A and B are shown apart, each in its own frame.
Chain A
Amino acid sequence: MQIGSHYKKLTLLSILVIAITLIAFTGKNSLYTDPYKLEYPDYFGNRISIPENNPTTKQGVYLGRMLFYETKLSSSKTISCASCHQQKLAFTDGKTFSSGINDMPTKRNSMSLANLLWVRNFFWDGRAKGLEAQALIPLNDPHEMGAYMEKAIIDLQKTKVYPVLFRDAFGTPEITADRITKAISQFERTLISANSNYDKYLRGEYNPTEQESNGMELFMNSAEPSKNIRGASCAQCHGTPKMYMELFHNNGLDSIPKDKGREELTGMPNDRGRFRVVTLRNIALTAPYMHDGRFKNLEEVMDHYNEHIKPSKSLSVVLQNRPNEMGGKSLGLTAKEKANIISFMKMLTDSTFINNPAFSNPHLSQK
């Protein structure tokens, strides 16, 4: 009997050892190949951009989140991506122009980071094709993060935590600029905002107020005074549930723009003063507005589109001749209509998104 029980114990022990070895072995492998499931509503469509050489993995996303909040990536050790892209402000910073190292102001207003999975051309002028190319630019900019990449790699390699995280995400502990931008991009692809009141309305879970309903109608419609249809034509550029279209338009801010926008990139005069059509998701959180942050609030934005469009050769055709009154020169919305459109835009605020712990600073929770 005693011998039997010894055998039993021995067998159990050996099974345990084998199991632990197997778990450790497969666990190591699964770390490297653990796909991250990007969840989003069907109405966003599947025209998403994930490069074949950078699939989204749980380990890559976590590393990217660590790096997104990592001040060691800047020469002053004070600036991270999150300095200009703060979660509580839908990943903007509330400033007209952001401050890089030594408080140097950037050239343009910080853009919101939401639903980037669908974006194809990044920055206000669309100069970066893909998130990987985008992430490299602020890191290498002498004014934004101090062009510190090469030294930051050495710094990170010396830490205890990062070589392990890089091994988990990419197979070996080696840290490279390419891997840093890949991981940050993986994290940024997870920043999906799809739980605003507008989303709840689309899912049949929210009844808009009268103001929101009227605002939504005006937002979606183009004016046809002969048919008595009133509209603000917002959806011409900010239509679809994603609340933007991948377009570059001159929206009539100036007749002679100080910042030439996309023209600087293409050299084409018809691109003068053209900038990205941004998403309006969480727009109530991302003041000030426009590429140069010139408008303090949504009221000023509405006044601009309604009354102050400046003519120029490259002014968007969509912003010309859309009056609500027969023969009108401007859009001609009433004060109440403008307020209603703002009520609708506030429906696009997603508190789940700005409070999602998966997007927050992981360094804080470690401390």
Chain B
Amino acid sequence: MKKHYVLLILLVSLFLGVFSQNIMAQNIIKEAVVKIEGEVLKPLSLSLSDFAKMKHVEASMKDRDGKAQQYSGVAIFDLLQQAGVTVGKELKGENLTKYLLVRCSDGYEVVFSLAELDPSFTNRVVILADAKDGKPLADGIGPFRLVVPDENKPARSAHEVTHLIIRFAKD
């Protein structure tokens, strides 16, 4: 009898083990990341926790109603530097024909030329924001959004950013 009990307990625990693993697997929600790829030396995939360790700056933009909104995030220039994009001293010659394609989870896309994002060309700091008023960004906006100050339309301040892709303008 004892042997049977041991066997039964073993079987039940094995079953529960496998079952709970399945449940766990189903409950794991994929973490949102932003990927930096294309003409980069070091492709990056950054989560909110990676972002938290990076230097943050503030940026403000007007929303659809014209009210100024304050955001906090990482300067796109810093992200590009980390990924080994030809910014700063290297942004000359053919590198001036490179552009940044921003892609969002709903398929929305906008572009910037690299010179629009480089402090040796402009004082405007475009950021990839992860917080507004000290709080994470709302559903449908975050976890990462672009904040482009001083633009009359907010259309390039894209929501739910998932990819920053560097490419050459080829033709």
Which A residues fall within an 8 A CB radius of B?
Answer: 121, 126, 245-249, 266-271, 274, 313-317, 320
Contact = CB atoms under 8 A, between A and B. Distances in A.
Contacts of B130: none
A155 to B, nearest CB: 39
Chief secondary structure at chain B's binding surface: loop
A313 B105 CA distance: 14
Contacts of A126: 107
In the complex, the 5 A-B pairs of residues with the closest C-beta atoms, listed nearest first: A267-B30, A313-B139, A247-B107, A317-B140, A248-B106
A270 B30 contact: no
Contact of B107 (A121, A313, A314, A315): A121
A64 to B, nearest CB: 27
B30 A314 contact: no
A269 B29 contact: yes
B70 to A, nearest CB: 19
Contacts, number: 36
A313 B159 CA distance: 14
Given A247-B108, A270-B139, A316-B140, 14 more contacts: A245-B107, A246-B107, A248-B107, A266-B105, A267-B30, A268-B105, A270-B140, A270-B160, A271-B105, A313-B140, A314-B140, A315-B140, A316-B106, A317-B140
A299 B133 CA distance: 42
Interface string B103-115: 0011110000000
A245 B106 CA distance: 11
Contacts of A314: 139-140
Given A247-B107, A248-B107, A270 B32 contact: yes
Contacts of A121: 107
Given A266-B30, A267-B30, A270-B140, A317 B159 contact: yes
B131 to A, nearest CB: 17
A320 B140 CA distance: 11
A266 B108 CA distance: 16
Nearest to A226: B65
A247 B30 contact: no
B141 interface: yes
A16 B108 CA distance: 61
Q: Which of A249, A274, A315, A317 has the most CB of B within 10 A?
A: A317
A340 to B, nearest CB: 25
Q: Which of A270, A271, A315 has the most CB of B within 10 A?
A: A270
A70 B29 CA distance: 43
B106 A247 contact: yes
5 contacts: A267-B29, A267-B30, A270-B140, A270-B160, A314-B140
Given A313-B139, A315-B140, A268 B30 contact: yes
Contact of A249 (B30, B106, B141): B106
A270 B107 contact: no
Contacts of A271: 105
A81 to B, nearest CB: 25
A229 to B, nearest CB: 13
Nearest to B32: A268
Nearest to A312: B139
A270 B105 contact: yes
A200 to B, nearest CB: 30
Interface string B75-108: 0000000000000000000000000000001111
B32 A274 contact: no
A28 to B, nearest CB: 33
Nearest to A246: B107
A160 B160 CA distance: 54
Contacts of A269: 29
Contacts of B106: 247-249, 274, 316
B110 to A, nearest CB: 12
Contacts of A274: 106
A317 B105 contact: no
